[in-house]
C-alpha cells in the first residue's frame, strides 16, 4: 500500500490555478525529493499533503485512507519548515517535548520519547541548552527532533537546509540520509538544489509550473531526461 497517493490533485488561489492535476504514488519508506524552480508549487503541494492548505480538486490518500478532509493532527504527518522557529525561552528538551505536553501525554512517556529522539539526532549533550546557544545545524536537528517525537508515518521537509552554509548543508544532508535509513520513515523532501536531490533521493519528482515534468530515480533522470527542462535542471550532459 502506498504511504501517499495523489490523484489529480489541484490547487487554485482565487483565479489562479497553481497546481494542475498531480498524479503520484509514494511507497512506504521511500525518500522522495520534489525539485523545481521557485514558484513551481513545491511548498503548496507539501502544505496540501500536511493539511495546512485546502485541496481544490482531486484525491489525497494517506496509508490507503482518503485524507482530503482530515485535519493536520489526524494525518500522522510531521512537517519541518525552512525557517525552524524554536521557542527561544525553552531548552532543547522543552522544545522537543512541547507538542506532547500540549496533548497532556504522561511525563514518563514524554521523557522517553525526547531522550530517544535526542539520541537519534546526537542532541543528548545539548538537551539543557537554549536555541541561542546552538549552531544553525544543531537548531535544525532540534526542529527535526520536535517532529520525530511524534513518531509520524511521513515526514515532510520544506527546504530544511537552505538557511545553512555550504559546509553545514552537506554535513546535514548526510545526517538526514542516515536518519532516513535508521527510522525507515517515508520522507518527502523539497529543495531547489539539484545536488541535494541527486544525492538523497530514491525518487525525484521534477515540477514545473504546477505540473510534473518527470518522475524517476536520480540515474534515470540523469541518463534519460524526457525533455530539455529536466535535462537542464538535473544537469544531464545533453
| Contact set with Mg ion (CB under 5 A) | 43
Q: Which is nearer to ligand ADP, 53 or 115 (CB)?
A: 53
Cell 544531464, residue?
Answer: 236
User: And the C-alpha cell for 97?
Assistant: 517535548
Torsion (CA) 25, 169, 177, 153 in degrees, nearest 10: -50
Q: Which is nearer to ligand ADP, 39 or 232 (CB)?
A: 39
Alpha carbons 226 and 212: distance in angstroms, whole number? 11
Query: 32 to 51, contacts with ligand ADP by CB under 6 A?
Result: 36, 38-44
Smallest separation (angstroms) from ligand ADP to the CB of 40 = 4
Q: Which is nearer to ligand ADP, 4 or 114 (CB)?
A: 4
**Looking at the chain, which runs of residues are DSSP E strands?**
2-13, 16-27, 31-35, 57-62, 65-66, 77-80, 154-158, 186-190, 203-208, 211-216
Alpha carbons 10 and 22: distance in angstroms, whole number? 7
* 132 touches ligand ADP by CB under 6 A: no
Partner interacting with residue 13 (select from Mg ion, ligand ADP, none; CB below 5-8 Å by kind): ligand ADP
Alpha carbons 30 and 45: distance in angstroms, whole number? 17
User: And the C-alpha cell for 80?
Assistant: 519541518
Q: How many residues bind ligand ADP (CB under 6 A)?
A: 10
Q: Which is nearer to ligand ADP, 38 or 108 (CB)?
A: 38
Smallest separation (angstroms) from Mg ion to the CB of 222 = 24
Partner interacting with residue 87 (select from Mg ion, ligand ADP, none; CB below 5-8 Å by kind): none
CB 92 within 8 A of CB 134: yes
Site string for ligand ADP, 15-34 (x = CB under 6 A): ---x----------------
Alpha carbons 138 and 123: distance in angstroms, whole number? 8
- Report strand pairing: 16-27 vs 2-13: antiparallel
Q: Which is nearer to ligand ADP, 36 or 225 (CB)?
A: 36
Partner interacting with residue 138 (select from Mg ion, ligand ADP, none; CB below 5-8 Å by kind): none
Partner interacting with residue 41 (select from ligand ADP, Mg ion, none; CB below 5-8 Å by kind): ligand ADP
Smallest separation (angstroms) from ligand ADP to the CB of 191 = 10
Q: Which is nearer to ligand ADP, 39 or 64 (CB)?
A: 39
- Report strand pairing: 154-158 vs 57-62: unpaired
Interface residues with ligand ADP (CB under 6 A) are: 13, 18, 36, 38-44
Amino acid at each position: 500500500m502506498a504511504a501517499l497517493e495523489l490523484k489529480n490533485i489541484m490547487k487554485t488561489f482565487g483565479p489562479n490555478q497553481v497546481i494542475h492535476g498531480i498524479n503520484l504514488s509514494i511507497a512506504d519508506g521511500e525518500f522522495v525529493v520534489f525539485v523545481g524552480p521557485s514558484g513551481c508549487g513545491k511548498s503548496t503541494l507539501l502544505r496540501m499533503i500536511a493539511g495546512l492548505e485546502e485541496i481544490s480538486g482531486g484525491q489525497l490518500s494517506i496509508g490507503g485512507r482518503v485524507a482530503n478532509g482530515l485535519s493536520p493532527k489526524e494525518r500522522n504527518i510531521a512537517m519541518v519548515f525552512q525557517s525552524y522557529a524554536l521557542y527561544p525561552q525553552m531548552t532543547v528538551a522543552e522544545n522537543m517535548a512541547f507538542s506532547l505536553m500540549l496533548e497532556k501525554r504522561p511525563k514518563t512517556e514524554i521523557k522517553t520519547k525526547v531522550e530517544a529522539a535526542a539520541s537519534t539526532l546526537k542532541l543528548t549533550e545539548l538537551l539543557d541548552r537554549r536555541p541561542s546557544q546552538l549552531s544553525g545545524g544543531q537548531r535544525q536537528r532540534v526542529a527535526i527532533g520536535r517532529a520525530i517525537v511524534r513518531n509520524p508515518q511521513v515526514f515532510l521537509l520544506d527546504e530544511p537546509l537552505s538557511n545553512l552554509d555550504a559546509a553545514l548543508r552537506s554535513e546535514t544532508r548526510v545526517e538526514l540520509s542516515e536518519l532516513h535509513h535508521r527510522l525507515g520513515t517515508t520522507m518527502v523532501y523539497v529543495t531547489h538544489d539539484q545536488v541535494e536531490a541527486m544525492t538523497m533521493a530514491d525518487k525525484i519528482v521534477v515540477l514545473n509550473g504546477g505540473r510534473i515534468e518527470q518522475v524517476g530515480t536520480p540515474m534515470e533522470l540523469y541518463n534519460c531526461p524526457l525533455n530539455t527542462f529536466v535535462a537542464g535542471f538535473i544537469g544531464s550532459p545533453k
